Amino acid sequence: MAEYFTGEISTLDDFGKLAFHSKHPYPQFVIGPPSHLHGDNFAYRYTGYIKIPEDGLYTFYLSSDDGSRLYINDSLVVDNDGIHAMGEVSGKVALRKGFHKIKVLYFEAKFGQGLKAMISGPGLKKREMGPDILFEK
Ligand SMILES: [Ca+2]
């Protein structure tokens, strides 16, 4: 599930200042419509659950232009906040096999835009998180 927001911010700390626009049933962390309506000054909040295949230490990666953050079970794991060109930041967390809450925040200020969210760990080679391991409930 993705919630789409509009407004001008330069850090995800100010996410609360954005205006809610609409909800979309995106099955993964992608920049989709209706961002084409605005081009600049928009943001997404993606929420759902990730299925972890076995107990172990997992690495999450966010590449974004501009800022992004990833939370697992409401704890910040990857912080790639701020206005910047595409660049990857990662973070590690120990997880049990099964379903865990996942949330990604993303904003685009001006010029180029992009977002890529990946995972690696026991049973998972580094790969984009897709609809086979992401669930709405
Ligand atoms: Ca940008």
pLDDT at 68: 98
CA of 101 to the centre of ligand 1 (A): 27
Q: How many whole angstroms from 39 Cα to the centroid of ligand 1?
A: 10
Residue 35: per-residue pLDDT: 84
Backbone φ, ψ for residue 89 (5° rounding): -130, 145
| pLDDT at res. 118 | 98
Report the separation in Å between the CA atom of 118 and the middle of ligand 1, taken as the mean of its atom positions: 20
Question: For residue 3, how far is its CA from the centre of ligand 1 (angstroms)?
Answer: 19
pTM score above 0.75:
yes
Two structure tokens written together for 12: 């995800």
DSSP 22-78: EEE--SSS---TTHHHHSSSEEEEEEEEEEE-SSEEEEEEEEEES-EEEEETTEEEE
CATH class of the domain whose range is 2-135 = mainly beta
User: What is the predicted pLDDT for the residue at 109?
Assistant: 97
Closest CA to 115 of 76, 78, 62: 62
- Give the Cα separation of 55 and 47 in Å (integer): 22
The domain limits of the chain are: 2-135
> Model confidence over 7-27: pLDDT tens digits?
999 999 999 999 999 999 988
Which stretches of the chain score pLDDT less than 50? none
Q: How far is the CA of 80 from the centre of ligand 1 (A)?
A: 13
Per-residue pLDDT at 123: 84
